[in-house]
Amino acid sequence: MFDSGFGGLDILKNIIKELPQYNYVYLGDTARMPYGTRSQELIYNFTEQAIDFLFKNNCQLIILACNTASSQALRRIQQEYLPKNYPQKRVLGVIIPATETAIQKTINHRIGVIATQSSVDSKAFEKELKKLNSKVRVFQKSCPLLVPIIEAGEQNSKATQLILENYLKPLIKKQIDTLILGCTHYGYLKNKIRKIVGKQINIISQGKIVAKKLKDYLFRHPEIERKLGQDSKVSFLTTDLTDNFKILGAKYFGQNIKLKKVSLE
C-alpha cells in the first residue's frame, strides 16, 4: 500500500481486519508530502518511483491508498507502465470503490466531494460518478489545509472546526445527500464532519469500503490471490523517519508501528 503520508493507515487497518492472513507492506512518502498541491507530472513521477520500489521488493498487488495519486497517476500506470514493466502485476486505486458506494447511497443524485486540489482539478470523482449515473450532480470542494492539519496532529484544535465549517457549508447549501471524503486522511475527521453536516447526509469514508472491495477483487482474481504471502506480516516504510510519524501513525493505526526509512529516488 502506498500513500503520500500516513492517511492510508486507516485503509490498511480496515483491510487487515477484513483480510488478516496476508502480508502487507505500507509505504508513506512523508519526505515529499503533501501531494495535493503538486503538478500532475510530478505526482506521476513520485507514484511511479513508489510502485517500482514496491514491486522490486516482491509486492504482487499495490493499492494506491492516496486519492491524489489515484486521480492523477493510476490510469497512466495501468495503461502504460504496467504492460511495459510488470505485466503480471496489478495496481488498484481508491476512487472507484468510493464512487460506486456513493451512487448506491444517494437518493436525490446530488453528491459532494471534498478532496485535495489536484484531485478536484482532475475531476476524477466526477467522471467516475457520471459513468455510473449520468444524471448525478457533483459538487466538489478542495480542502488544502486538512492534510497538513492531520499530519501535524492538530485535528482537535478549534481552528480545525472553523476550517471544516468553511469547507462544508457551501456543499450543504447545494442540498447534497451524500458526501465523499476524497482523501484518505479525511477519515480521521469523520466524526467532526458528521456533526457539521448532520445525520441526513451519507458520509462515504474509504477504509471499510476499500477493504470489502479488495476482498471481492481477490475472490474474482485467484491468479493474483495465490501469489500473495500469507504469514500475517506487516512492514511499515517511510521516506522520512520522524517522531511524528511514529507517534501519530501508531495512534491512527491502532497499535505501535516499527518504521524503516527507505529512499525512492
The verdict on whether 143 is a catalytic residue reads: no
Instruction: Give the CA distances from residue 72 to residues 187, 193, 196, in Å, rounded to whole numbers and listed in that order.
Output: 20, 26, 29
For this structure, is 59 an active site residue?
Answer: no
In angstroms, the Cα distances linking 221 to 16, 89, 227 are 19, 12, 11
**Alpha-carbon separation of residue 107 from 133, 135, 168, 171, 247 (angstroms):** 12, 12, 20, 16, 41
Please tell me whether residue 139 adopts helix, strand or coil conformation. strand
- The C-alpha atoms of residue 3 and residue 66 are separated, in whole angstroms, by 5
- Tally of CB atoms within 10 A around 46: 25
Residues 6+ apart with CB under 8 A from 107: 177
The one catalytic residue in 66, 91, 94, 115 is 66
Out of 12, 183, 189, 204, which one is annotated catalytic?
183
Residue 39, exposed/middle/buried by CB under 10 A (0-12, 13-18, 19+)? exposed
Q: Are 3 and 147 in contact (CB under 8 A)?
A: no
Take residue 182 and report the three cell numbers written for it: 476524497
Helix axes 124-132, 95-105, angle to 10 degrees: 50
Which residues are the active-site residues?
66, 183
